[in-house]
Structure 1
Amino acid sequence: MLVLKSLDIDLTQSEKKTLLGFLTLYSFFTIVILLFISFLYYSFQKDLMLQQKRASMQDYSSELIFRLKDLHINFDKYKFYPRDENFNSAIYDSDRKLIFSTLESQNVDFNSEVYTTDSKIHFVEQPESYYLGAKYVVLEIKDDLLWFENLKKEIALFILIAFAFMVFFGYFLLKLFLKPMRDALHLLDRFIKDTTHELNTPVSAVITNVEMIDIDSLDEKLARKIKRIDTGAKTISNIYEDLTYLTLNNKIISQDENINLSKIVRQRVDYFKTLADVKKIEIKTSIKEDIFIFCDNKKISKLIDNLLSNAIKYNKVKGQIKVSLQENSLIIEDSGKGMSQTQVEQLFERYTRFDKSVGGFGIGLNIVSMIAKEYNLKINVQSQEKIGTKMEVTWQK
């Protein structure tokens, strides 16, 4: 996340997840590669240490074999197995059965000439002659592990430096990958700003003129046409306001005041009634009088608009919408398609759309989430597929 901040990029939630996933995967493979290289280096250093020890243990072995030969010849005279303070030893017959041992570790690997086990270094040799019946001579010395301690420091320093370099390299790689995406987003952002600017005047003119028409005085056929124009204009107007909010969000100065939420909810329900009528959706309201909230009028209206718009958009024909306003909560419940739990978890991500058959850009609920966070509003979503969705907005007095 520090890399993302240093790039000075304003990313959406989905983009952040994508980039975080890339960084996680990149870091994981970097660590795996560094550990693999470290293991190869460890194996090389261990083999080098064993070869160095092999030379001295070869001398010890030659000395022991000489003493075994002397004991073999003069067994009646000595009858004592030769010992040395520099090493422990053991002899085995051709069937690898123990004849005599002073080893601390009794597990012997006869297939290896020199190896380590239990902090001990073992050396296995086969004498030319079977003195005392010994086919195998095994030597054991202590491993002080100094080589391993030094090796750990070297590997730790290597991993630290290499990982820092790879992160530094990944930073520039990430900038390289992000540049075309950011350029495309800047072009899209400019296109949205230009488009919304051009839409404002004609849409406002259509809505204003439609509202001035006395629909009740028209014949039924013409009235239906006017209502369709009104519905289309309001749909475009709502999209325009959403796009404007996104493009100007950082520049919008909130005009917070104590506003009558009851009045605003009624106004917004009336505004969307035309859209609901197209799908023959019945809107039932239970609005308590004189509920006040301290916030920006336009922003709370935008929050309500997007909740109502979604309740209509994803509802079924001849469905229902229940709007309830109480002391500390606003509930908008529909009888629409509903969502799975996975979809509910992704509901407020920008550009998220679960049904491509309906219009929209997937930005409405993202705006709802932004406004809710600004005013510390809590949003609880309950949804069941093919039953409907209940959106509850709560706040503290």
Structure 2
Amino acid sequence: MVIVLTRSEKSALVRFLGLYLGSSFILLTIIAWLFYKVESNLYYDLITSNMKNVAAKISSTIIYAQMTNQKISPEKIRENIEFDFALYDHSYKKLVGNIPEKIDFSKKIKQYDNSFILIDDSALGHLGVNYVVIKENIFYKKIYQLKEKILISFLLIFAFLFITGFYLAKMFIKPITNERLKLNNFIKDTTHELNTPITAILMCTSNGSSLSEKNIQRINLSAKRISEIYKDLIYLFLEEKKKETPSNLRIDLILNEQIEYFKTLASKKRVEIKTDIKQTTFFIDKESFIRLCNNLISNAIKYNKIGGEIDIILKDNKMIVKDTGIGINKQNLKDIFKRFYRANNVQGGFGIGLNIVYTICNEYDIKVDVDSKEKEGTTFILTFKE
């Protein structure tokens, strides 16, 4: 699903990615540098230790050769070591070996170009050899390979962090974007819902001062619709609104009043309202119960078919509102009480009516069940606890 972002959301996304990737880059750079220093020092210690061991071994071979009156073979020495070597006398003259550089004997280990040279004086002049010089050619190759590995690992990890950060940012911003889209749609739908009755009123009053009974009826219905929209918005969004104190109410009387209120609207669609209402008392505030009834009855009319029926039953601590309308898909039933949710865009509305019903039911511990079949109708069952 493509997420359409506003300029401010894009800016927030870029800032988040910049901060996330910038801090990740700095942290990875520090880790890579520390790893490089540790590994290069380890390589250096390992190679120089090897060189010292080889030099000591050659010196021992020279000393042993003199003690046993044997001669040393440079070729044989060369076969057994992985380094270049050379033997020098006390005047720093090379006796044998394959090291071409001019050696500085003032330091035990010295760097020459891309190599290290180690000088060992443990031969002590035996067979005329005072210095054993070892030259390695692998340290900088190892360092080059190490840098390659670190760079490749750095790029792979940073690419992974970039992709992860991008998807995390989209995941975090998606709920905000969805809520913005819902709010935008809500504003559009509210404007449309208000425009319809206002247009009807203007049309009815545009012909002068004389109004027919039919026009008066239309104005009355339109004004009632605007009033209902206003009351729903106030109930849902003004959380600090002043509410009536709950009390034990004859909800059957209130329900009958609201049914009379909706009969004119139902007659416009030739929808017949059938009732079976018994005396019932419930602890609730009047405005909340009116909102509960109005939204259920209004939906039953709005989503009903022309010439359909509505059954409203109140008895045995249950209120049932059943219609013969378009019904609700089973997959959508779990979402119908969400704010701004609309199962279809055919009949208008802006998706807050059933959310109000759900809010009131939660507040007064009323169990609400829904049964619906597409193209057959929907039944809402409210169970009031005694």
Please state which band the TM-score falls in when normalised by the shorter chain: 0.5 to 0.7
2:357 corresponds in structure 1 to 368
Q: What are the superposed Cα offsets for residues 128-177 of structure 1, whole Å, 9 maximum, x if unpaired? A: xxxxxxx999xxxxxxxxxxxxxxxxxxxxxxxxxxxxxxxx9xxx9xx9
CA 1:28–1:242: 2 relative to 1, 3 Å: same
Gaps of 5+ in 2: 1-10, 68-79, 83-114, 118-136, 140-168, 206-211
Q: Could you tell me whether the CA contact under 8 Å between 1:285 and 1:323 is conserved in 2? A: yes
Match of 1:350, SS state, is coil
Cα distance in 2 between the residues matched to 1:380 and 1:51? 71
Q: What are the superposed Cα offsets for residues 49-70 of structure 1, whole Å, 9 maximum, x if unpaired? A: 1122222222211023335657
Cα distance in 1 between the residues matched to 2:279 and 2:216? 34
CA 1:240–1:55: 2 relative to 1, 3 Å: closer
2:382 corresponds in structure 1 to 393
Q: Percent identity?
A: 31
What TM-score do you get using the length of structure 1 for normalisation?
Answer: 0.51
CA 1:37–1:230: 2 relative to 1, 3 Å: same
Cα distance in 1 between the residues matched to 2:224 and 2:81? 96
1:150 corresponds in structure 2 to none
Cα distance in 1 between the residues matched to 2:61 and 2:366? 94
Q: Could you tell me whether the CA contact under 8 Å between 2:279 and 2:315 is conserved in 1? A: no
Of 364-373 and 305-314, the range deviating more from structure 2: 364-373
Cα distance in 2 between the residues matched to 1:346 and 1:26? 34
CA 1:359–1:34: 2 relative to 1, 3 Å: same
Matched, 1:48 2:37: yes
Q: Which amino acid aligns with 2:324?
A: S
Cα distance in 2 between the residues matched to 1:54 and 1:365? 71
Matched, 1:302 2:323: no
In the TM superposition, what is the alpha-carbon distance from 1:292 to its structure 2 partner? 0.7
1:379 corresponds in structure 2 to 368
Cα distance in 2 between the residues matched to 1:92 and 1:317? 101
Instruction: Tell me which of 226, 233, 241 is aligned to 1:251.
Output: 241
Cα distance in 2 between the residues matched to 1:23 and 1:343? 33
In the TM superposition, what is the alpha-carbon distance from 1:391 to its structure 2 partner? 2.1
1:60 corresponds in structure 2 to 49
Instruction: Tell me which of 298, 314, 317 is aligned to 2:303.
Output: 314
In the TM superposition, what is the alpha-carbon distance from 1:30 to its structure 2 partner? 6.3
Match of 2:240, SS state, is helix
Q: What are the superposed Cα offsets for residues 57-110 of structure 1, whole Å, 9 maximum, x if unpaired? A: 2221102333565788889x9xxxxxxxxxxxxx999xxxxxxxxxxxxxxxxx
CA 1:70–1:301: 2 relative to 1, 3 Å: same
Cα distance in 1 between the residues matched to 2:34 and 2:301? 71
2:275 corresponds in structure 1 to 285
In the TM superposition, what is the alpha-carbon distance from 1:315 to its structure 2 partner? 1.7
Instruction: Tell me which of 242, 245, 254 is aligned to 2:232.
Output: 242
User: Aligned-pair RMSD on alpha carbons?
Assistant: 4.8
1:146 corresponds in structure 2 to none
Instruction: Tell me which of 310, 320, 340 is aligned to 1:351.
Output: 340
1:274 corresponds in structure 2 to 264
Q: Which amino acid aligns with 1:276?
A: A
In the TM superposition, what is the alpha-carbon distance from 1:243 to its structure 2 partner? 3.3
Q: What are the superposed Cα offsets for residues 258-289 of structure 1, whole Å, 9 maximum, x if unpaired? A: 111222222222221211111122223232x2
What TM-score do you get using the length of structure 2 for normalisation?
Answer: 0.52
Matched, 1:323 2:295: no
Match of 1:360, SS state, is coil
Cα distance in 1 between the residues matched to 2:284 and 2:272? 29
Cα distance in 2 between the residues matched to 1:92 and 1:384? 88
Q: Could you tell me whether the CA contact under 8 Å between 1:239 and 1:360 is conserved in 2? A: no
CA 1:23–1:270: 2 relative to 1, 3 Å: farther
How many residue pairs end up in the alignment?
Answer: 256
Of 224-233 and 378-387, the range deviating more from structure 2: 224-233
Cα distance in 1 between the residues matched to 2:61 and 2:379? 95
Match of 2:261, SS state, is helix
Gaps of 5+ in 1: 1-21, 78-90, 94-124, 128-134, 138-169, 207-221
Q: Could you tell me whether the CA contact under 8 Å between 1:92 and 1:136 is conserved in 2? A: no
User: What is the 5 A alignment of 1:192-231?
Assistant: 227-231=217-221
Match of 1:312, SS state, is helix
CA 1:92–1:255: 2 relative to 1, 3 Å: farther
In the TM superposition, what is the alpha-carbon distance from 1:346 to its structure 2 partner? 3.5
CA 1:369–1:250: 2 relative to 1, 3 Å: farther
1:339 corresponds in structure 2 to 328
In the TM superposition, what is the alpha-carbon distance from 1:330 to its structure 2 partner? 1.7
Q: Which amino acid aligns with 1:284?
A: K
Match of 1:386, SS state, is coil
CA 1:249–1:56: 2 relative to 1, 3 Å: closer
Q: Which amino acid aligns with 2:261?
A: Y
Cα distance in 1 between the residues matched to 2:261 and 2:13? 47
In the TM superposition, what is the alpha-carbon distance from 1:297 to its structure 2 partner? 1.5
In the TM superposition, what is the alpha-carbon distance from 1:393 to its structure 2 partner? 2.1
Structure number with larger C-alpha Rg: 2
Match of 1:323, SS state, is strand
CA 1:386–1:295: 2 relative to 1, 3 Å: same
Cα distance in 1 between the residues matched to 2:19 and 2:223? 54
Instruction: Tell me which of 260, 264, 268 is aligned to 2:254.
Output: 264
Q: Could you tell me whether the CA contact under 8 Å between 2:342 and 2:350 is conserved in 1? A: yes
